Structure 1
Amino acid sequence: MKQNAVFSRRKFIRAAGVGAALPTVWTQPRASDQEQLQTLLTRKESNIWLFTGDSITHGAKHTHGFRSYPEVFAERIRWELKRVRDIVINTGISGNAIPNILSDFDWRVSQFKPAVVSLMIGTNDCARAGMTPDLFAQNLTTIVGKIRDLGAVPILHTPNPIILEKAPERRTLPEYIPVIRNVAEQKQVVLVDHFSHWQNTTDIDVNREWLNDPLHPGPRGHQEIARLLFKTLSIFDPQEATCGGPYYEGEH
């Protein structure tokens, strides 16, 4: 073929006639994460819900044998909502920060092929040498991208407030909370803002009732974390036991 017979795309359009146009390709807009979560909660197919994070998600020690918030979530999903074939996995590890999860992502997250990944992190990051809010933001953005690359829906949590004067090594934690909120807003991720909820609860002594030590929620604190998650996902029902409703079948 002669060189002058090779048409550029623009020349081809002109040759086809003035006003000719390529067909418009319509694409379906991506459903929001909240919409995707509602679909997952109502579809017939089963889901894998994965929780990861540090000792708060792990539920280590400070629950005194009671349920951690991922376990309360499992009761809500698998029993009260009758999604008995859904699976709830907890890969939180006490003492971890976000670099630990990133370096162990395949083992902690990917291998389970989750539909949803819930992440609460930051309480240890703020005490790590070399960590800054800016670096934390980069890490958090990276992990959101890795979760979405799996085809999963991410959920971000702010950690609960701590008693700063009794945990001076974590005095910068309040600087990390806006980072989590900003990443959630920028990446359009569902956010469960426990830090705000705990700070705005004034009818009880939150530190005494919800914390077991300066950092870790006790059993009541884990219930509150779970219930705010339920409210964020629009699955809170005050009549159900996991949401605080009365339940007793004893006979005397």
Structure 2
Amino acid sequence: MDRQNPLAHVKGSDQPLTWTFIGDSVTAGTWHTYGARSYPELFAERMREMARTADVFINTAVSGWTVYELDRHLDRIALRFSPDLVVVGIGLNDTRLGTAGLAGFSATYRRVVRGLREGAGSTVVVQTPNDTLSTAPRHVVDHLPRYAEEIRAVAADTRAPLVDHYAAWTDPEAPAPEHWYAMGCHPGAHGHRAMARTLLDAFGAWDPASRTGRLAIP
């Protein structure tokens, strides 16, 4: 299993795979999408377009959760499914603890990655959160950049594939337009499409000519 290249694991197996998405409200795709599909749903659709019709996609993300809930409930939200690949989306709510919480966040995130690998042999894909509007909670606005940096460090230290949504949304040459957001720090329909594209790019699976790809991101 190639932890640095998750697509190699996908393409290298004709066996059905089990995917688990764990994290907070963004990954859960709660009401901020206003009925539109979330990025995990769009990702699953693209995998099926690639003939992975027997794969199972399980989303156990919970609104309001932090990395500490992931660690505490890892068996319930992931290990019981014996997932082949786990996509983690966490960090926005952890910013409530400010810079004083960075060390604990980092240590717990590493424990989650280790627990998934040791408990289920999973390939773990680490993601930074999307960026935030200035109208988001102050703790997110003030501390999200540092938490994104810490997630990158976790990915590097654990040799986990990194999907850097935060970098994509804060690209100085093409920053995220306001209509990618539903409110505050939550992406809306366009934001989830942007996140799906970034995730698919990381897997080498983005194709603008595909049905999923034709969901252009204005």
**Quick check: TM above 0.5?**
yes
1:155 equivalent in alignment to 2:125: yes
State how many pairs are aligned. Answer: 214
User: Offset of 1:242 from its aligned partner?
Assistant: 1.4
User: Offset of 1:122 from its aligned partner?
Assistant: 0.5
How many Å separate the matches in 2 of 1:245 and 1:91? 25
Alignment of 1:1-16 (within 5 A): none
149, 170, 176: which one pairs with 2:147? 176
Q: What is the TM-score with the length of structure 1 in the denominator?
A: 0.80
Report percent identity of matched pairs.
32
For residues 12-35 of structure 1, the C-alpha deviation after alignment (integer angstroms, 9 at most, x for no partner) is: xxxxxxxxxxxxxxxxxxx53134
1:135 aligns with: 104
Q: Which moved more, 1:120-129 or 1:35-44?
A: 35-44
User: Offset of 1:44 from its aligned partner?
Assistant: 1.2
2:45 aligns with: 75
Letter in 2 for 1:213: M
Flag the 1:55–1:131 CA change in 2: closer, same or farther, 3 A.
farther
User: Offset of 1:40 from its aligned partner?
Assistant: 2.4
Flag the 1:49–1:174 CA change in 2: closer, same or farther, 3 A.
same
User: Offset of 1:101 from its aligned partner?
Assistant: 1.2
Larger relative contact order, structure 1 or 2 (CA cutoff 8 Å, min sep 6): 2
Flag the 1:104–1:241 CA change in 2: closer, same or farther, 3 A.
same
Task: Tell me if structure 2 keeps the 8 A contact 1:163–1:207.
Answer: no
Task: Tell me if structure 2 keeps the 8 A contact 1:34–1:233.
Answer: no
For residues 150-176 of structure 1, the C-alpha deviation after alignment (integer angstroms, 9 at most, x for no partner) is: 100000000011124542132211111
**Matched residue SS, 1:111:** helix
How many Å separate the matches in 2 of 1:40 and 1:62? 31
**Matched residue SS, 1:239:** coil
User: Offset of 1:84 from its aligned partner?
Assistant: 0.7
Task: Tell me if structure 2 keeps the 8 A contact 1:67–1:219.
Answer: yes
Q: Which moved more, 1:54-63 or 1:205-214?
A: 205-214
1:199 equivalent in alignment to 2:170: yes
Q: What is the TM-score with the length of structure 2 in the denominator?
A: 0.92
156, 160, 181: which one pairs with 1:189? 160
Letter in 1 for 2:62: I
Q: Return 5+ residue gaps in structure 2 as ranges.
A: none
Q: Return 5+ residue gaps in structure 1 as ranges.
A: 1-30, 247-252
How many Å separate the matches in 2 of 1:174 and 1:36? 26
How many Å separate the matches in 2 of 1:177 and 1:130? 12
84, 104, 115: which one pairs with 2:84? 115
Flag the 1:193–1:162 CA change in 2: closer, same or farther, 3 A.
same
How many Å separate the matches in 2 of 1:187 and 1:75? 29
Task: Tell me if structure 2 keeps the 8 A contact 1:227–1:242.
Answer: no
196, 209, 212: which one pairs with 1:226? 196
Flag the 1:207–1:124 CA change in 2: closer, same or farther, 3 A.
farther
How many Å separate the matches in 2 of 1:130 and 1:231? 31
**Matched residue SS, 2:193:** helix
